[in-house]
Amino acid sequence: MIQRKIAIYGKGGIGKSTTTSNLSAALAGKGYRVMQIGCDPKADSTKNLMGGQRIPTVLEQIRQKGDAIKLEDIVFTGFGGVLCVESGGPTPGVGCAGRGIISAFEQLESLDAFAVYRPDIVIYDVLGDVVCGGFAMPIRGGYAREVYIVSSGEMMSLYAANNIATAIRGFGKRGYAKLQGLILNAKNIENERQIVDRAVQEIDTRVIQYIPRSPDIQSAEARGGTVFETLESSPMQAVYSELAEKILSA
């Protein structure tokens, strides 16, 4: 039985996938069996767990293999044993990306992915510029019970965070997922922490973790990995491990 079902939302380009991958690596390092599911048409959520390599997406494999598709075609083992899945999306300009996420989830269910791999924790990494039916699927469909939003102190990032929080509150009234907090992925803008502290009061949530801006993140990504895999003594390891502990104790 899956112990924790977590969705991480955030504006495109905010560092959500980087945060999610390092969180997955931190949880795996604590002995948990983690599955990370990328819910973005760019399909780049898991590349830092896969040595910088892009994995085939569920939608690509559905198109290529149809009914012959197998779990090993769409679930790949990355750093620390993290199980990696990318939902993918339609050809740019053709079709609905949100519908692609729904199709990917349906395929994982039809192949009994969670029963076969038995992850302790499933993390959905979801694009959060818009919260249409497809992008809301992890929370609307009951796949995730806890939601975290990654944001900086930039206006558009906080605007997206507020939109996401509004959607989550709407779903929460129907007994779906609950917003657990905001992860501040710092951009080093002036008075950033104070700006975000005011914003979370308006959103009615809290900052669960502060992630300082660090060149170690870019260095690790340039090597195709997380800070746990590519950097032996980075202080960012402790930051992500602390985030993992806070989420585990939430």
| 16 catalytic per annotation | yes
Q: Which backbone phi and psi does 211 adopt, to 5 degrees?
A: -110, 105
**DSSP class of 17:** H
Catalytic one of 73, 120, 129, 197: 129
Token code pair at residue 195: 């700006």
| 129 catalytic per annotation | yes
Catalytic one of 5, 16, 47, 125: 16
Q: Cα separation of 159 and 166, whole Å?
A: 11
| 70 catalytic per annotation | no
| 11 catalytic per annotation | yes
Helix (H) or strand (E) holding 220: helix 215-222
Pairing of strands 76-77, 207-211: unpaired
Give the full edge-to-edge strand order of the sheet including 4-10. 76-77, 83-86, 34-39, 121-127, 4-10, 146-151, 178-185, 207-211
Specify the 3-state DSSP secondary structure of 206.
coil
Active site residues: 11, 16, 42, 129
